[in-house]
């Protein structure tokens, strides 16, 4: 507790010092409340009901017309139960450089809320909600036709009894149009390449070795806007290769088709994802989420995910969404019912009231761009 109070005191002192020096004070509050009932059939993981809240207050300073920014705070994840067990408090502290003229955005540190940018084969719904932070760096470059993204997520450092675990990711894409107006089509040819690494612990016990997991997802995206409607079609290949440097020390390769279709009209969104091919995550039973953090359903040869989302209320401050998700594989099925509330407020929104937002749709398969 003393260390947490000391950490917050340092942040407040930093903010006051920079403010006195005529810099811009920055702050934000991001709060989420989610009810999720998961019904699962024919699965080793039983279904359950999960209700939780998550809040991330941040405070910091910006300078040079907000190009440079330092932000700090905490993310508090709290399941709603009778004794308030299972909570998690994670510090957030990062530097950001954003140059809108050059299309460059760089963040370094403990960055809150950024795990949503990962596709579901790299980050499952439950991992994102319990641990939305990225520990490392995020780089984004956006030009007229070129899109580049990079990420380093250091999930766990090495200790005597803990193994080092991290992920390096790169995204690159080409698009035919920088802007999309009503009735326009947008095509993106892109590829995501990721590497998950699991090293040995400091004690180096017998039978423990380095593990490698490479993932590639080349794809084509087609987006069409027409009035208040959006259609997005995505098709590609999900390829991975894994090696456990203990025992046979051989590479295991998996590949399959991965595609999705998303339709959005006003308050209603329907998103269909299909994977068909060889089972992914072949070493999951041995290493679990320490190595693989993607959705477990990709461990089957076939995976269908259908999400129907309805926006109940949507302003700059508050989003309320109801979602029905149906999951089917060649081994099991699952049906999720969710109600999600998000409240967000920062310095720029302060004083504004119910400003109309642009199209907001739920996309379970986002890209870095």
Domains of the chain: 2-346 (2.40.160)
For residues 264-283, average pLDDT = 96
What does the pLDDT read at residue 327?
Answer: 95
Number of neighbours of residue 153 by Cβ within 10 angstroms = 24
Check: CB of residue 113 under 8 Å from CB of residue 130. Answer: no
Chain centroid offset of residue 116 CA: 2
pLDDT at residue 366 tops 70: no
Residue 357 per-residue DSSP state: P
Cα separation, 195 vs 213, whole angstroms: 6
Q: Exposed, middle or buried: residue 238 (CB in 10 Å: 0-12, 13-18, 19+)?
A: buried
For residues 182-201, average pLDDT = 88
Place of tokens 């403990």: 110
288: alpha, beta or left? (left if phi > 0; alpha if psi -120 to 50): left
Residue 127 per-residue DSSP state: H
Which one is predicted more confidently, 235 or 87? 235
What does the pLDDT read at residue 363?
Answer: 34
- Six token digits for residue 210: 């380095």
Q: Which of 11-15, 169-173, 226-230, 275-279 has the lowest mean pLDDT?
A: 11-15
3-state class (DSSP) for residue 341: strand
Residue 351 per-residue DSSP state: T
What does the pLDDT read at residue 202?
Answer: 85
What does the pLDDT read at residue 248?
Answer: 74
pLDDT at residue 13 tops 70: no
Which one is predicted more confidently, 1 or 270? 270
pLDDT at residue 367 tops 50: no
The overall average pLDDT reported for the chain is 86
What does the pLDDT read at residue 83?
Answer: 78
Check: CB of residue 266 under 8 Å from CB of residue 228. Answer: yes
What does the pLDDT read at residue 7?
Answer: 57
Give the tens place of pLDDT for each residue, 197-209.
999 998 888 888 8
What does the pLDDT read at residue 358?
Answer: 37
Q: Say what the alpha-carbon torsion angle 72, 78, 83, 86 is, to the nearest 10 degrees.
A: -90
* Residue 167, C-beta contacts closer than 8 angstroms, at least 6 positions apart: 122, 151, 152, 153, 155, 194, 195, 196, 197, 293
What does the pLDDT read at residue 45?
Answer: 57
Number of neighbours of residue 227 by Cβ within 10 angstroms = 9
Give the tens place of pLDDT for each residue, 81-128.
777 788 899 999 999 999 999 999 999 999 998 888 899 999 998 888
Question: pLDDT class for 181, splitting at 50, 70, 90?
Answer: low
What does the pLDDT read at residue 44?
Answer: 56
What does the pLDDT read at residue 65?
Answer: 79
pLDDT at residue 255 tops 90: yes
What does the pLDDT read at residue 211?
Answer: 95
What does the pLDDT read at residue 240?
Answer: 98
| DSSP conformation letters of 19-70 | HHTTPEEEEEEEEEEEEEEEEEES-SS---EEEEEEEEEEEEEEETTTTEEE
For residues 281-292, average pLDDT = 93
Place of tokens 């490698």: 212
3-state class (DSSP) for residue 135: strand
What does the pLDDT read at residue 356?
Answer: 45
Number of neighbours of residue 264 by Cβ within 10 angstroms = 22
Chain centroid offset of residue 356 CA: 25
What does the pLDDT read at residue 104?
Answer: 95
Q: Which of 264, 362, 268 is nearest to 310 (CA)?
A: 268
What does the pLDDT read at residue 113?
Answer: 86
For residues 58-83, average pLDDT = 90
3-state class (DSSP) for residue 7: helix
**% of the chain beyond a pLDDT of 90:** 62
Residue 297 per-residue DSSP state: G
* Residue 83, C-beta contacts closer than 8 angstroms, at least 6 positions apart: none
Cα separation, 339 vs 321, whole angstroms: 6
What does the pLDDT read at residue 362?
Answer: 33
Cα separation, 278 vs 284, whole angstroms: 14
What does the pLDDT read at residue 208?
Answer: 86
Partners of 93 in the beta sheet?
72, 110
What does the pLDDT read at residue 46?
Answer: 63
What does the pLDDT read at residue 315?
Answer: 85
Question: pLDDT class for 184, splitting at 50, 70, 90?
Answer: low
Residue count (the chain): 369
Give the tens place of pLDDT for each residue, 45-59.
566 788 999 999 999
Check: CB of residue 95 under 8 Å from CB of residue 112. Answer: no
Half-sphere exposure of 160 toward its Cβ, with a 13 Å CA cutoff? 0
What does the pLDDT read at residue 15?
Answer: 54
């Amino acid at each position: 507790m003393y260390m947490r109070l000391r950490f917050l005191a340092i942040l407040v002192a930093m903010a006051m010092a920079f403010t006195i020096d005529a810099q811009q004070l920055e702050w934000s509050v991001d709060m989420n409340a989610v009810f999720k009932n998961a019904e699962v059939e024919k699965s080793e993981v039983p279904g359950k009901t999960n209700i939780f809240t998550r809040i991330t207050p941040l405070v910091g300073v910006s300078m040079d017309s907000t190009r440079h920014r330092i932000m700090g705070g905490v993310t508090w994840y709290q399941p709603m139960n009778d004794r308030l067990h299972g909570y998690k408090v994670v510090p957030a502290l990062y530097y950001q450089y954003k140059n809108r003229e050059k299309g460059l955005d760089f963040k370094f540190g403990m960055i809150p809320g950024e795990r949503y940018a990962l596709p579901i084969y790299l980050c499952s719904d439950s991992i994102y909600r319990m641990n939305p932070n990225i520990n490392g760096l995020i780089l984004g470059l956006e030009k007229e036709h070129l899109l580049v993204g990079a990420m380093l997520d250091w999930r766990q450092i090495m200790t005597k009894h803990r193994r080092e675990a991290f992920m390096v990711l790169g995204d690159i894409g080409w698009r035919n149009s920088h802007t999309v107006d009503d009735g326009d089509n947008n095509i993106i040819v892109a590829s995501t390449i990721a590497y998950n690494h699991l090293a040995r612990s400091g004690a180096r016990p017998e039978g423990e070795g380095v593990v490698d997991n490479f993932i590639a997802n080349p794809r084509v995206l087609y987006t069409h806007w027409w009035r208040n409607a959006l259609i997005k079609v995505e098709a590609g290949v999900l390829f991975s290769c894994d090696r456990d440097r203990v025992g046979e020390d051989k590479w295991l390769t998996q590949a399959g088709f991965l595609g999705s279709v998303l339709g959005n009209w006003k308050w209603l969104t329907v998103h269909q994802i299909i994977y068909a091919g060889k089972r992914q995550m072949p070493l999951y039973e041995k290493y679990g989420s320490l190595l693989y953090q993607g959705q477990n359903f990709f461990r089957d040869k076939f995976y269908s995910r259908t999400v129907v989302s309805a926006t109940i209320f949507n302003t700059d401050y508050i989003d309320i969404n109801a979602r029905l998700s149906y999951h089917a594989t060649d081994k099991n099925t699952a049906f999720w019912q969710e109600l999600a509330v998000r409240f967000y407020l920062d310095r720029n929104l302060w004083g504004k009231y119910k400003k109309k937002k642009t199209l907001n749709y739920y996309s379970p398969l986002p890209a870095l761009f």
